[in-house]
Amino acid sequence: MAENVGIGASVLRKEDFRFLTGRGTYVDDINRPGQLYAHILRSPHPHANLKKIDTARAKQAPGVIAVYTRHDVNEDKLGGMPCGWGVKFKDDTPMKEPAHPMLATEKVRHVGDPIALVIAETRAQAKDAAEQIAVDYEILKPVPTINDAIKPGAAALHTEAPDNVCYDWHIGDKSAVDSAFGRAHKVAKLDLVNNRLVPNAMEPRAAIGDFDSANGDYTLYTTSQNPHVIRLLMGAFVLHIPESKLRVVAPDVGGGFGSKIFHYAEEALVTWAAGKVKRPVKWTADRSESFISDAHGRDHVTHAEMAMDKDGKFLALRVQTLANMGAYLSSFAPAVPTYLYATLLAGCYATPAVYAEVKAVFTNTVPVDAYRGAGRPEASFLLERLVDVAAKEMGMDRVDIRRRNFIPNSAFPYQTPVAVQYDSGDYFGTLDMALKASNWSSFRDRQQEAKKRGKLRGIGISTYIEACGVAPSNVAGALGARAGLYEVANVRVNPTGSVTIFTGTHSHGQGHETTFAQLVADRLGIAMDQIEISHGDTGKIPFGMGTYGSRSLAVGGSAIVKAMDKIVNKGKKIAAHLLEAAEADIEFKDGKFSVAGTDKSKTFGEIALTAYVPHNYPLDVLEPGLDETAFYDPKNFTFPAGCHICEVEIDPDTGNTTIITFTAVDDVGRVINPMIVEGQVQGGVAQGIGQALLESCIYDGNGQLLSGSMSDYTMPRADNLPNVDVSTHVTLCTHNPLGVKGCGEVGSIGSPPAIIGAIVDALSEYGVKHIEMPATPQRVWQTIQAAKGKKAA
């Protein structure tokens, strides 16, 4: 049995039956007795002083139970939305952390900023009533982009940050970098933008607040990737409800990609309101609302320079980045362009000196926070594009320059100049595999053939690195994290030998119910149908940190392994008693405890039953029961890496780009379920293709969101995507018990530079050095026209 379902088997996903047959239970599927509906009146203006808010008529509207505004928030002395990560200025002073009210107080700062909460018997009545609220706005000049925010004399969003700067941070050794540039043979330079994205999980956010007036208990059902974090932030900072009186349930969640990590005002609003009106209150975003209320991703403007010696060896990297925080600090926003970005700027390369400066600014846009990859796609896009430019600058081949600068396999553990230490990797191995799988060496033939058909064909490569499982907690704490970053698992062996795993991670599409069950089947030797994975309910699960940053298997899986170790150890003690042998002689294998060198054994089920029916049991030295909890705090990040190669064809008449092939070779450490890994990589690459070719969140000069619907914002569709050829090359993580690294984000981190590199390669006959994302047909066509114009001139 173990060989079919254990580690390394492509077990079909247990959870898919309910998802594919429409039987999942998402927040909006839950309806509580007596439930009311909430609608949120949001600002149509990006920047305005809020004068009078008149709710009198709305309160009289049919079906309306309550209308709440800043006035009620004040009266109940509620807190604002907290930020979970503090970053410092270069001079060590703390970042500017302006208040982020649940309902706007003196000002609105982005289109979509919540102003009033309307609660009514039906959703339509709540919406009708919201239209009766009269708001007196005093319009202020909007600051919609990074460049607007830093202009001298720009309007300030917050009095706390008169220059709109949240922080101006740096990392690395500036003088070492400056001196290396002084010695450089050549310098490659690049200005680039990392385009702003809207996450667009398939399931819009939703929340139900429920209050039990019998005992004063609150329950929040919410679309969250980390219910415990929400309970902590909302209970402690916003609503002041003790955690013992607050349960947060995140049931089936239809995708998150980071956007459901954060604590949002709507969660606190419905919970608070349920306590006030003494009835359950449900809010479900519609798609238009998601566009203006879910945290957005990316949005960087960067200048980068690489210094090289005469052999093309990298001497130093210098980076200046402006990062958009949006109107307020979302839960983890400050960490994204700093500790999740600049610490990865060494990439796979042994560049001896790196210095990065990051200035984060406030703008009149939706808050920006972690989105699939969070900081690392920005780092890999910058670095891999710059390496391509460096190759051109040196007249070297793109592959050769990478090989020349890779960290050699013998150098691990490798200390980078930007704080992190890589534990393992084989960048040459993933590169060679990808070159072979993509038929790199025969590309120019295919290019010639395409040319005969009037198409411009190009090939691009990226050799990226990422960091997963932010840790250890004490190091993260020293860097500004205001939470722990361990994970917890409770392994509950039931009396008849079935096992329930309670994990602090949360699955919202990743397939944990299968992968984690495989860990258990592999270790405890029991059948998959005897294993349940339970997650997403603070009422059931010890305090865990949730799922983001590809941490679930590396951190959460490791906690499960540690808890299973405890189970096996205790089982050995029980078996030793039953088999009248020394504990040291008991072996556990394939679901059996046996006395070494004999045929005496007890099955896992027999031991479980004995633990709960302790008639023949060493009660004087051992507690009954078989139920163990482990908290696992990693010693380091994990560092997946790999090589992505993309081949495109461009129609020069229209500028349209078609991806012909995409090859991904990823080192995600030990692979538990190859099918799930392939799916995760394909999904990540789909989002990378979205960023590189299609998706662009655009605010106009007046601060209005132009790409605020699916008919304006280009989500990738099936026909935009090639079949992604995925393979893995394993080097084990050296510091977690499974040797795993994480696979959830590699696709979105590795792919954009490979795609853009391919387009630039296809356009190389026009002398194009770089093209910004998304490389839409219009942008490619305009780039060709501009290059032709230059040539002609």
Partner 1 sequence: MYDFTYARVSSVADAAKQLKGDDDAKAVAGGMTLIPTLKLRLAKPSALVDLGGVKDLAGIKVDGKTVTIGAMTTHGAVAASAEVKKAIPALAHLAAHIGDPAVRNRGTIGGSVANNDPAADYPAGVLALGATIVTNERQIAADDFFKGMFETALKPGELITAISFPVPEKAAYMKFPNPASRYAMVGVFVAKTAGGVRVAVTGAAPSVFRQKDMEAALTKKWAPDAIEGIKQKQDGLNSDIHASAEYRAHLVGVMAKRAVQAAG
Question: Quick check: 704 binds partner 1 (CB under 8 A)?
Answer: no
Question: CA-based Rg of the chain, rounded to a whole angstrom?
Answer: 27
Q: Which amino acid is at 177?
A: V
In the complex, least distance from residue 771 CB atom to partner 1, rounded to whole angstroms: 15
The distance of Cα 473 from the centroid of its chain, to the nearest Å, equals 18
Strand partners, 368: 296
Question: Quick check: 174 binds partner 1 (CB under 8 A)?
Answer: no
Q: Which residue lies nearer to partner 1 by CB, 521 or 694?
A: 694
Closest CA to 283 of 231, 223, 227: 223
CA distance 208 to 283: 6
Question: Quick check: 694 binds partner 1 (CB under 8 A)?
Answer: yes
| Binding residues among 544-583 for partner 1 as defined by CB under 8 A | none
Give 496-547 as a 3 state SS string. Answer: CCCEEEEECCCCCCCCHHHHHHHHHHHHHCCCHHHEEEECCECCCCCCCCCC
**Which residue among 236, 532, 781, 787 contacts partner 1 (CB under 8 A)?**
781
CA distance 566 to 560: 10
In the complex, least distance from residue 460 CB atom to partner 1, rounded to whole angstroms: 20
Question: Quick check: 786 binds partner 1 (CB under 8 A)?
Answer: no
Question: Quick check: 782 binds partner 1 (CB under 8 A)?
Answer: yes
In the complex, least distance from residue 696 CB atom to partner 1, rounded to whole angstroms: 8
DSSP string, 209-270: EEEETTTTEEEEEE--S-HHHHHHHIIIIII---GGGEEEE--B----TTTTTS--HHHHHH
The H-or-E segment that residue 16 falls in is helix 16-20
CA distance 741 to 584: 33
**Which residue among 99, 698, 721, 730 contacts partner 1 (CB under 8 A)?**
698
Q: Which residue lies nearer to partner 1 by CB, 629 or 656?
A: 656
Closest CA to 8 of 565, 512, 515: 515
**Which residue among 92, 711, 723, 793 contacts partner 1 (CB under 8 A)?**
711
Q: Which residue lies nearer to partner 1 by CB, 128 or 388?
A: 128
Which single residue is written with the structure tokens 């296809």?
Answer: 762
Contact 205, 508 (CB under 8 A): no
Q: Which residue lies nearer to partner 1 by CB, 179 or 656?
A: 656
> Which of these segments, 516-524, 557-565, 711-719, 760-768, binds partner 1 (CB under 8 A)?
711-719
Task: Taking each helix axis as running N to C, give the angle between helix 512-524 and helix 558-579, from 0 to 180 degrees, rounded to the nearest 10.
Answer: 30
> Which of these segments, 195-203, 302-310, 371-379, 771-779, binds partner 1 (CB under 8 A)?
771-779
In the complex, least distance from residue 712 CB atom to partner 1, rounded to whole angstroms: 5
Question: Quick check: 707 binds partner 1 (CB under 8 A)?
Answer: yes
Closest CA to 386 of 105, 778, 770: 770
- Total residue length of the chain: 793
CA distance 681 to 686: 8
Q: Which residue lies nearer to partner 1 by CB, 127 or 174?
A: 127
**Which residue among 713, 749, 753, 755 contacts partner 1 (CB under 8 A)?**
713
Say which DSSP state 556 is in: I
Please, what's the b/e burial string for 455-486 (b: 16 or more CB within 10 A of its CB; e: otherwise)?
bbbbbbbbbbbbbbbbbbbebbeebbbebbbb
CA distance 232 to 612: 34
In the complex, least distance from residue 193 CB atom to partner 1, rounded to whole angstroms: 15
Question: Quick check: 29 binds partner 1 (CB under 8 A)?
Answer: no
In the complex, least distance from residue 378 CB atom to partner 1, rounded to whole angstroms: 22
Q: Which residue lies nearer to partner 1 by CB, 125 or 515?
A: 125
> Which of these segments, 23-31, 69-77, 518-526, 693-701, binds partner 1 (CB under 8 A)?
693-701
In the complex, least distance from residue 207 CB atom to partner 1, rounded to whole angstroms: 21
Say which DSSP state 383 is in: H
3-state secondary structure of 458: strand
CA distance 772 to 756: 8
In the complex, least distance from residue 697 CB atom to partner 1, rounded to whole angstroms: 10
In the complex, least distance from residue 714 CB atom to partner 1, rounded to whole angstroms: 4
| Binding residues among 102-161 for partner 1 as defined by CB under 8 A | 124, 127-128
> Which of these segments, 87-95, 136-144, 220-228, 772-780, binds partner 1 (CB under 8 A)?
772-780
Q: Which residue lies nearer to partner 1 by CB, 445 or 653?
A: 653
- Strand pairing report for 499-503 and 531-534: parallel
- Residue 311: which residues within 8 A CB-CB, separation 6 or more? 404
Alpha helices per DSSP H over 547-593: 558-579
Contact 738, 670 (CB under 8 A): yes
- Residue 151: which residues within 8 A CB-CB, separation 6 or more? none
Question: Quick check: 43 binds partner 1 (CB under 8 A)?
Answer: no
Question: Quick check: 755 binds partner 1 (CB under 8 A)?
Answer: no
Closest CA to 644 of 752, 760, 761, 550: 752
Closest CA to 661 of 723, 615, 707: 723
Question: Quick check: 712 binds partner 1 (CB under 8 A)?
Answer: yes
| Binding residues among 415-474 for partner 1 as defined by CB under 8 A | none
**Which residue among 136, 710, 786, 788 contacts partner 1 (CB under 8 A)?**
710
The H-or-E segment that residue 684 falls in is helix 674-689
> Which of these segments, 235-243, 665-673, 727-735, 775-783, binds partner 1 (CB under 8 A)?
775-783
In the complex, least distance from residue 695 CB atom to partner 1, rounded to whole angstroms: 9
Question: Quick check: 696 binds partner 1 (CB under 8 A)?
Answer: yes
Q: Which residue lies nearer to partner 1 by CB, 441 or 782?
A: 782
How many amino acids of this chain bind partner 1 (CB under 8 A)? Answer: 24
Q: Which residue lies nearer to partner 1 by CB, 119 or 694?
A: 694
Q: Which residue lies nearer to partner 1 by CB, 320 or 720?
A: 720
Closest CA to 313 of 409, 394, 425, 413: 394
In the complex, least distance from residue 711 CB atom to partner 1, rounded to whole angstroms: 4
- Strand pairing report for 300-308 and 217-222: unpaired
Q: Which residue lies nearer to partner 1 by CB, 320 or 656?
A: 656
In the complex, least distance from residue 81 CB atom to partner 1, rounded to whole angstroms: 28
List the x/- string, 624-663, binding to partner 1 by CB under 8 A.
-----------------------------xx-x-------
Please, what's the b/e burial string for 102-134 (b: 16 or more CB within 10 A of its CB; e: otherwise)?
bbbbebbbbbbbbbbbbbbbebebbebbbebbe
Question: Quick check: 714 binds partner 1 (CB under 8 A)?
Answer: yes
Question: Quick check: 543 binds partner 1 (CB under 8 A)?
Answer: no
| Binding residues among 261-320 for partner 1 as defined by CB under 8 A | 286, 288
Chain residues that interact with partner 1, rule: CB under 8 A: 124, 127-128, 286, 288, 653-654, 656, 694, 696, 698, 706-707, 710-715, 776-778, 781-782
